[in-house]
Amino acid sequence: MQNESKFMPNATPEPIRAAIGLLRKVSQSEKQRRLRDRRQWLRQVDLLDAFDTLFDHMPEYRVFLKRRPGEIMFVSRAMVHTLRADDEVSLIGVCDHELTPGPLADLYRSRDEEVLRSGRSITGLEVWFTREGLPQWFVCHKLPLRNRAGRVVGIIGFLKEYEHIKQLPVSEPLGKAIACIKRNISSPLRVRDIARATHLSARQLERLFRSVFGISPKEFIIKTRVHTAVELLMQSEASLVQIALDTGFCDQSALTYYFRRELGITPQRFRKAAMIWANYKASEPTSDTPLENPSGGAKAATR
């Protein structure tokens, strides 16, 4: 560190570790007293409200707490929006099978049980849903929650969309069907044509989509069109009429109808809010003016 003084003019030539460790030794009785003091203080703190506020500033993360039977005890606001619940309280006590398609819920539950049984954290990829309701890979971290006696009583989980995977890698023929939809998103798409391209009957394709995603091919097409429209609204200055045509809707009215049905906001409002939100994230705000986020809610630009 020969040039340390150039970058840190007030740095001491002594090893940094020498400046650390000046804290006096603490006796076991003092440690116990401090632990009791912390527990008493924590009883006065609303940690769940703090979680909400903290993860509002980290919208790429979704957070949840579950107790041992697999019931949700807390979800961050980003998950509330994705699950389209009225509020977080509406999800208390709800299980995975009430929220997601059977096969996915089975997977979530089996991994929850692994954490509960072993008492160890796990990290892996799980299929979850984007804000637009489309299935996507998410990195999921699950950790055990313990009571004061040290017994595992639940789990805490963190989800983050896996940015490096642009398409959901699924086996044939479902992969062919998804690729066909995305490749022809600006064209009229009929389920029987997609089925023919994957060498399945329309009924087989229907069953396949429902078994994996819990929705029909037609619903998947609509969600993909809306998802593509979201990207175009945020990344281009194309008119709404052009975006409607580029995403396979017959006109702007159809785009607006399905966009609002899926996301609860019109394309016009979404684009305006997305621009404000992008500016907010690009530069640190200096006022307390509320900023509207893309979900249509208000967010205060405070530190």
pLDDT digits (tens, 9 = 90+) for 217-266: 998 899 889 888 988 988 889 999 999 999 999 999 999 999 888 777 88
Residue 125 confidence class, pLDDT cut points 50, 70, 90: low
Residue 103 confidence class, pLDDT cut points 50, 70, 90: low
The dihedrals phi and psi of 226, each to the nearest 5 degrees, come to -65, -40
Q: Is the pLDDT of residue 163 over 80?
A: no
Identify the structural domains of the chain with CATH numbers, from first to last.
47-161 (3.30.450.20), 174-275 (1.10.10.60)
pLDDT in the model for residue 300:
34
Distance CA 73, CA 108 (A): 16
Buried b (16+ CB within 10 A) or exposed e, 60-87: ebbbbbbeeebbbbbbbbbbbbbbeeee
pLDDT in the model for residue 101:
62
Q: Is the pLDDT of residue 289 over 50?
A: no
Q: What is the mean pLDDT of the chain?
A: 79
pLDDT in the model for residue 164:
45
DSSP assignment string, 86-142: SSGGGGTT--GGGTS-HHHHHHHHHHHHHHHHH---EEEEEEEE-TTS-EEEEEEEE
**pLDDT tens for each residue of 32-58:** 999 999 999 989 988 888 888 888 888
Mean per-residue pLDDT, 101-114 = 80
Q: Is the pLDDT of residue 68 over 80?
A: yes
pTM, two decimal places: 0.54
**pLDDT tens for each residue of 71-97:** 999 998 888 888 878 888 999 999 988
Q: Is the pLDDT of residue 296 over 50?
A: no
pLDDT in the model for residue 172:
73
pLDDT in the model for residue 102:
64
Q: Which residues are CB-neighbours of 92 under 8 A, at least 6 positions away?
A: 71, 72, 73, 74
Distance CA 251, CA 256 (A): 9
Give me the residue label for tokens 């979680």: 51
